[in-house]
Amino acid sequence: MTGGLENIRLYSKLDLEEWISILYEVDEKKRFGSSARLIASVMGSSPSELAYIARKVERTGVDGIEMGLACPMGEGPAVVAGDPDKVYEYVKTACDAVSLPVSVKLSSSCANLPLIVRACIMAGAKGVSAIDTVRGILSIDIENMKAGLPTYGGYSGAPIRLIGLSTVAGIAQTSSIHVVGIGGIENYVNLIEYIMAGASAGAVGTGILLRGYDAVSEIVEGFDRWTGEQGIADIEDIRGAALSSLRSFEELKVESKVAQTCITCQDSECGKCVSCCLDDAVTFDGVVSINKERCTGCGLCISICPENRLRLVWK
């Protein structure tokens, strides 16, 4: 999967006062007559610092504040996001300091996500964002025996979408708090996926870096077109719609299936389905054939076929 970015960038070269000045300017000059809402994302190394920053930002006229507690770079807020008691302290202090709605940006790596979300709710948060970037190492230079980047970075974009969807669904299944789905939203389909997983909204970051701000308008236009075609007037009609199809592993019913060709394949240059089958059930002799006695129905060949020429059927 392409479209991922690894970064260790600083969030800004501007100091707090410069940001405050910009936010005042945005509110006074650029939002006149606009229905857009502005949410300021802030970070701090202690509850009191977060409260101080939140109060300063609130005076600029923003509509909400997002607290970043899950940045994978550094050892500050990153260690907070997995501790319910610390999360409660940080969020409660910030919520008490301002009258604006406060949301909390969470990580996918929290050991007990329901407890973390519960701490956010009890502390007064009105929403959560999920997920922040995933901690990773870009590469290892094996010749020089050095890491590709000098510290751990944050991985973002399309490859982390499955992690983001899982995290959002887990939050939605265990709480009623509003969730902003983040991670790999490249098009309107991805946005709808997040909404059907339980999100109330979606956010785009890496998509803008790779394609520019047009990525946002394309997603919004596609979303409006699709919902119009489906006769959906309110996202609440589809929010969380996919959750009923998600069950615990223990609840799954074991069903015997086998693969078969749904479209005749004579592509001798491909052979992916043959080489990937660990049960030697797929062969090629002019056309792709599947031995039903050998096939275990794992579905790997279906997933790897670039032309969707295979399918699973009841055994």
Task: Output the CA torsion 301→304→308→310 (10° steps).
Answer: 0
Q: Is 301 an active-site residue?
A: no
Give the model confidence (pLDDT) of 40-93 as tens digits: 999 888 899 999 999 999 999 899 999 988 776 665 445 677 889 999 999 999
Angle subtended by helix axes 84-97 and 47-58, to nearest 10:
30
Angstrom distance (rounded) from CA 186 to CA 296? 34
- Catalytically annotated residue among 71, 120, 277, 305: 71
What is the predicted pLDDT for the residue at 1? 47
What is the predicted pLDDT for the residue at 180? 97
What tokens does 203 get?
């956010």
Q: How many CA atoms lie within 13 A of 241 on its CB side?
A: 12
Give the type of residue at 50.
L
**E-state strands within the chain:** 4-7, 39-42, 64-68, 102-106, 127-130, 134-136, 140-141, 146-147, 153-157, 178-182, 201-203, 257-261, 282-284, 288-290, 310-314
Which residues contact residue 241 at a Cβ distance below 8 angstroms, ignoring those fewer than 6 apart? 196
What tokens does 272 get?
């992916």
Which residues contact residue 56 at a Cβ distance below 8 angstroms, ignoring those fewer than 6 apart? 16, 20
Angstrom distance (rounded) from CA 30 to CA 24? 10
Instruction: Tell me the torsion sign for CA atoms 150, 151, 156, 161.
Output: positive
Task: Encode 134-163 in three state secondary structure.
Answer: EEECCCEECCCCEECCCCCEEEEEHHHHHH
Q: In Å, how far from its chain's centre is CA 90?
A: 23
Q: For every one of its 315 residues, what pLDDT tens digit does the chain have, with 9 covering 90 and above?
A: 467 888 876 667 788 999 999 888 887 666 666 778 889 999 888 899 999 999 999 999 899 999 988 776 665 445 677 889 999 999 999 999 999 999 999 888 777 889 999 999 999 999 999 998 888 888 999 999 999 888 888 889 999 999 999 999 999 999 999 999 999 999 999 999 999 999 999 999 999 999 999 999 999 999 999 999 999 999 999 999 999 998 887 887 777 888 888 888 888 889 899 999 989 999 988 888 889 889 988 889 999 999 898 888 876
Angstrom distance (rounded) from CA 10 to CA 12? 5
Angstrom distance (rounded) from CA 109 to CA 134? 8
What tokens does 238 get?
């589809």
